Amino acid sequence: MKGVRPLFVVFEGIDGSGKTTISEAVFAHYKSIGHPAVRLREPSDGPWGRKIRELIRDDAMPGPEEQVRLFIRDREDDVTVNIRPALLEGKMVLLDRYYYSNAAYQGALGLDAGRVIGENRSMGFPEPDRVYLVDLEPAEALRRVRARNGASTGRDAFENEHFLASVRVAYLSIADGRFLVLDGRLTVRDIVESVVRDIDSLLGE
């Protein structure tokens, strides 16, 4: 492995796409070879993130404009406390969801996805080097969610097929040159190998 440098990568996808499992496996790979890395998630584990998770769990999320406001407050804290310090230390940051989730999820609730992205970028948040979008049909994603939760219906306010179909469309509409779209139907191993090859190329390995 050549000299390390900071790298910021984001994992995105609808609920049940497998992005969390994939990000965990990628993180484990780089830790195993001694590459300094941190794995984070949004909503974060900070006070605003905990509030958002509680609202989602209780199916008590406010309207989409207020949702974006809450996520931005959480993101400000996450960037200040976790993301920017890790990058300044030369670490690889692997983030499970970022502002693209706001564009897709709140976009599916009626907001303009481009405006949501612009609002986040105006805050000066770090731009990722790569966004891995794990793309999967909503029906299969929901099947995985329900199998994982051991329930026939999801309690998560965001987990229903019609809504997730709209989120998927929004994700694909905002995918730009930073994105690598991954086929969520493939095995976790195959997807992780693709991500690792891509990250190695970004690192100049």
CATH number for position 189 = 3.40.50.300
Give the per-residue pLDDT at 159: 66
Residue 136 lies in a domain: yes
In a domain, 21, yes or no: yes
Mean pLDDT by 10 residues, the chain (205 residues): 76 96 98 96 97 91 95 98 97 98 96 96 97 96 85 58 94 96 97 98 88
The predicted pLDDT at position 157 comes to 55
* Residue 25, helix vs strand vs coil: helix
In a domain, 2, yes or no: no
Q: Across the beta sheet with 92-96, what order do the strands follow? A: 37-41, 92-96, 7-12, 130-135, 179-183
Q: Is residue 105 part of a domain?
A: yes
Q: For position 178, what pLDDT does the model report?
A: 96
The pLDDT score that the predictor gives to residue 160 is: 87
Q: Given this model, what pLDDT does residue 158 score?
A: 66
For the chain, the domain total comes to 1
Which residue segment(s) compose the domain that 182 sits in? 7-203
- pLDDT score recorded for residue 5: 79
Residue 113: burial class (beta carbons within 10 Å; 0-12, 13-18, 19+): buried
Q: How many Å from the N-terminal Cα to the C-terminal Cα in the chain?
A: 6
Look at residue 1 and tell me if it is in a domain. no
pLDDT of residue 51: 96
For residue 126, count CB atoms less than 10 angstroms from its CB and return exposed for 0-12, middle for 13-18, buried for 19 or more: middle
